[in-house]
Amino acid sequence: MSSDTSATVLLDDRQEWLRFSQPRDDLWDSHVVIEGMHCAACAFTVEEALLSVPGVRSAEVNAATHRAKVVWSEAQVKPSQWMAAIARAGYGALPAADNTLRQARQEETRRALWRWLVAGFCMMQVMMYAYPAYVAGEGDITPDMVALLRWASWVLTLPVVFFSCGPFFQNALRDIRWRCISMDLPVALGMAITFMLSSAATFEPSGLFGGEVYYDSLTMFVFFLLTGRWLELRVRDRTAGALEALMNRLPDSVERQHSDGSFERVAVRRLLPGDVIRVLPAESFPADGVIVQGQTLADEALLTGESRPQSRAVGDTVVAGSHNLVSAVLVRVEQVGEGTQFSQIVALMENASLQKPRLAQLADRVAKPFLVGVLVMAALAAAWWWPSNPSHALMVAVAVLVVTCPCALSLATPAAMLAAAGNLARHGVLVRNLQALESLAEIDTLIFDKTGTLTSDGQRITRVWTAPGVTPEHALSLAAALASHSLHPLSRALVAAHDPLAKPQVSIAEDVHESIGEGLEGRVNEILRLGSAAFCGVKTKGLPEDAQLCQVHLCSEQTWLASWQLSEDVRADAAQTVQALKDLGVDVWLLSGDHAESVQQVAEQVGIQQAFGGCTPQNKLSRMQAAQAQDARVAMVGDGLNDGPVLAGAHVSMAFGNAVPLAQSTSDLVLMGGQLQVVAQSVRLARQTLRVVRQNLAWAAVYNALCVPLAVVGWLPAWLAGLGMALSSLWVVLNALRLTRGF
């Protein structure tokens, strides 16, 4: 059995699946990287091959990232079987988290470089032998010398055809075998026709095609095509670099401590909660955990967008995927595998990288019929020119086949979208849905929530009112009992303010129910309510007038018990963010469930004119829908806790990742850090992305509109067609590369 086959069969070990798969009921979601792909048609071929395997429920392949998501049933199929289907289709597959992925990519780049070097060297020699035929007058070169130069060119063209052109011919044969079409098929036909036509002229100078040879054109357009492919490969790796840098951030192994204090290096997937591991400097933390010995600095930039190293000592938590910078620490593992925050981030990014925005789907749908049209157009052009000059007719067909390859069209949208997603990921913004970038670029209204969004999560109690006979400590104990069942920032502040060592200790609440955006109701010896004034019904006897303006109230079924006023700090960059959005022409609103006075105070601090307080989730949704009814394109930024309806109803939504579990977030973009200015920067980058996409699509359309007629009438030689095709694809990718710089 070959080593490749052995490696594939090894993946049938259930323990190995966790390296590149996630369980979902009785199904598995696996992510693999496809080798040998070049275009959207290749993606269709791989998808068809996977869907032909019994037990494979769905398959999504992205031509730009070369990544595939395969959903399969454990009861019906094993990974080795659907990977074998990919191999039969003529492609390779590697687990997305495989530690040999980088090595395989380097080998692919090295092979592409060697093919390019061979083509370039042979092209220069062939051009040297072709030069006399271009400059010599009639009778200056003897027929024997002409034949010698042709034979020398033929010999130098052989390495180009059989080595440099190898991938084109292999892919074309694969297409014929699978009865499909990709962008390499017309290119390979053009190469084969040119070489056979020139060979016929070399072997039979007096024959039907003996008038002229085209070795110089062949070697030149192969060289230009390979130049474009190699540069495109380098640029693609760079644009996807941020995504892969995050997704492949976990180490392969780690030192685990035994009961006797000794350490053994084990595979990360063998870790269990409760294990104690030693993480050395320059290593990544392999799991979420708590430091039990030592002190260090952790780099969490790719996870939170925070560029400064964070101090971590005994008792502090560390997250999988962050880097240990300074010294060795012992960590007690708390979450492993799919339970880690890192795993949730990777799942978000992998799913986003496989999505196809509307513009990309349109280009993909056009690409395949366009290729069929190219073959028909080339045949018609050859038939038109054949009566007058068969040799020229075939070269016209070659020019049509080469120049019309729609690589630029298929790459126009995904290259730009993925470059932007990679840039956002480096700054702590995870794109869950690539379509959201298109929607974000078109917004004209942005709605902020207040608590936990414009203001920081941390809040503190500044004033307390209690009913006669109720001590502040006892009231806080009752409130903390209810608040411990909620993730709302105000609830967390009450829980944090209660000293667990104080007397009385925190009470136990039963049958607690939360009304989103309003408050909590539960039993602590009696039925209690904690929340807004309207929810608690606190307009009862004994409530001080000042206390009516508080954010949080506690009452029983009979009477008011206590009220708390909490203050929150406006984020340092909130005013700057609002002004940046206004500079972009975006109308900024503030909708909050807090009292109108508190909301207006924050709005004045940050410069928002449209501010509304006392809003329930339904009120927020109604106001947003009213704006949408007037053709407003609305984005919503919230904490993901009580903003679910309005986040779901907005054209595009953003939520802070530290405020809600990522797995439960339904937002289009997740803001991992605490910086608000990334909101305005994301809008700016989304608009730039849409401009780049439109530029790419316009370039692809103009290029084909200009070059196809020139090729059909015979004014475009094959070498220039190859140069045009390479430059068009390269221009599209380089234009998208601009989105990876700056923010």
Q: How high is the mean pLDDT of the chain?
A: 81
Return d(Cα 136, Cα 172) in angstroms, integer: 39
> Looking at residues 344-351, what average pLDDT do you find?
65
Give the Cα-Cα-Cα angle 593, 596, 602 (nearest 5 degrees).
Answer: 90
Active site residues: 449
Q: Find out whether 216 and 156 touch, Cβ atoms under 8 Å.
A: no
Tell me which DSSP letter residue 307 carries.
-
Q: Which of 288-292, 421-425, 507-511, 661-665 shows the lowest per-residue confidence on average (mean pLDDT)?
A: 661-665
pLDDT band at 48 (very low <50, low <70, confident <90, very high): confident
CA R_g for the chain: 32
Would the pLDDT of 241 be above 60? no
Whole-number Å distance between alpha carbons of 87 and 101 = 17
Of 128-142, 348-362, 475-489, 558-572, minimum mean pLDDT range: 348-362
CA nearest 95: which of 29, 24, 38, 23? 29
Taking the C-alpha atoms of residue 718 and residue 194, their distance in angstroms, rounded to an integer, is: 9
Mean pLDDT in residue range 162-176: 87
The model's pLDDT over 351-371, given as tens digits with 9 standing for 90+, comes to: 655 555 565 556 556 666 777
Q: Give the integer Cα–Cα distance in Å for 252 and 99.
A: 8
Q: Domains along the chain?
A: 3-98 (3.30.70.100), 105-241+354-417+696-740 (no CATH), 253-283+288-335 (2.70.150.10), 428-449+585-683 (3.40.50.1000), 454-569 (3.40.1110.10)
pLDDT in tens, 283-297: 889 989 999 999 998
- pLDDT at residue 565 tops 60: yes
Instruction: Indicate the range of 156-170, 654-668, 680-694 predicted with least confidence.
Output: 654-668
Residues 633 and 442: beta-carbon distance below 8 Å: yes
Is 281 or 663 the better-scoring residue by pLDDT? 281
- Higher per-residue pLDDT: 43 or 381: 381
Q: DSSP secondary-structure letter at 12? A: T
Residue 485 · residue 512 · CB < 8 Å: yes
The answer to whether residue 488 scores a pLDDT higher than 80 is no
Contact (Cβ atoms closer than 8 angstroms) between residue 506 and residue 497: no
Give the highest mean pLDDT range of 28-37, 77-86, 365-374, 635-644: 77-86
SS3 653: strand
Overall average pLDDT of the 52-73 stretch: 85
Burial 306-320 (b: 16+ CB within 10 A, else e): beebbebeeeeebbb
Residue 452 backbone zone (phi > 0: left; psi -120 to 50: alpha; other: beta) = left
Give pLDDT, residue 704: 79
Using 50, 70 and 90 to split pLDDT, how confident is the model at 611? very high
